[in-house]
């Protein structure tokens, strides 16, 4: 990092390994959560891996998600899952717990959570007429 250059959130959070650990911890909690588990598909492995790639990229790391899947188009990719406000709040709570458990400093967690909140609520689609068929691993431009 050169003088005057700000570090990325992923660097400030502890790097890719820390973020991947947090995502694993988050998914471990989702597996046992009565609100979120019913929303997720039976097999959590693909989502776990996609979230790791997305978070690394979203927090300022290499564009791993886009290289594999194209533009994230998160809202469209989440249409198959009926997501309401309660689920968005619960998702944020579990992610906050996972970030804390990963040892990410409070100031960095706050910055991440501030960016996550509008993103989580952008996924809310429970009362909307949206296409519910899954996209799978399709490349999107």
Gap between the Cα atoms of 112 and 96, Å rounded: 9
Flag whether 37 is in a domain. yes
Flag whether 75 is in a domain. yes
Of the chain, the percentage scoring pLDDT greater than 90 comes to 72
Q: Which two tokens stand for residue 109?
A: 């967690």
Flag whether 4 is in a domain. no
* CATH code of residue 89: 1.10.490.10
CA distances from 46 to 40, 50, 103, 106, 137 (A): 11, 6, 25, 29, 9
> Is pLDDT at 28 greater than 90 in this prediction?
yes
Flag whether 128 is in a domain. no
Q: Are 69 and 140 in contact (CB under 8 A)?
A: yes
Flag whether 58 is in a domain. yes
Gap between the Cα atoms of 64 and 51, Å rounded: 11
> Is pLDDT at 35 greater than 60 in this prediction?
yes
Gap between the Cα atoms of 137 and 25, Å rounded: 23
pLDDT on residue 63: 95
Flag whether 127 is in a domain. no
Q: Are 94 and 30 in contact (CB under 8 A)?
A: yes
Q: Total domain count for the chain?
A: 1
Q: Which two tokens stand for residue 58?
A: 């979203």
pLDDT on residue 3: 45
Flag whether 2 is in a domain. no
The whole domain housing 68 covers: 12-122
Gap between the Cα atoms of 60 and 71, Å rounded: 15
Gap between the Cα atoms of 22 and 28, Å rounded: 10
Average pLDDT of the chain to the nearest whole number: 89
Flag whether 6 is in a domain. no
Q: In the structure, what pLDDT confidence band is assigned to residue 139 with cuts at 50, 70 and 90?
A: low
pLDDT on residue 102: 98
């Amino acid at each position: 990092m050169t003088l005057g250059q700000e570090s990325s959130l992923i660097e400030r959070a502890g790097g890719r390994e820390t973020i991947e650990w947090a995502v694993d911890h988050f998914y471990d909690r989702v597996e046992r959560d009565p609100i979120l588990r019913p929303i997720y598909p039976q097999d959590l492995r693909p989502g776990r891996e996609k979230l790791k790639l997305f978070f690394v990229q979203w927090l300022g790391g290499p564009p791993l998600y886009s290289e594999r899947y194209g533009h994230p188009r998160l809202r469209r990719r989440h249409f198959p899952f009926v997501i309401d406000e309660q689920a968005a709040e619960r998702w944020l709570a579990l992610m906050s717990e996972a970030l804390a458990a990963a040892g990410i400093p409070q100031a960095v967690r706050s910055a991440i959570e501030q960016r996550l909140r509008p993103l989580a609520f952008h996924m809310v689609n429970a009362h909307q007429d949206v296409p519910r068929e899954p996209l799978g691993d399709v490349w999107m431009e």
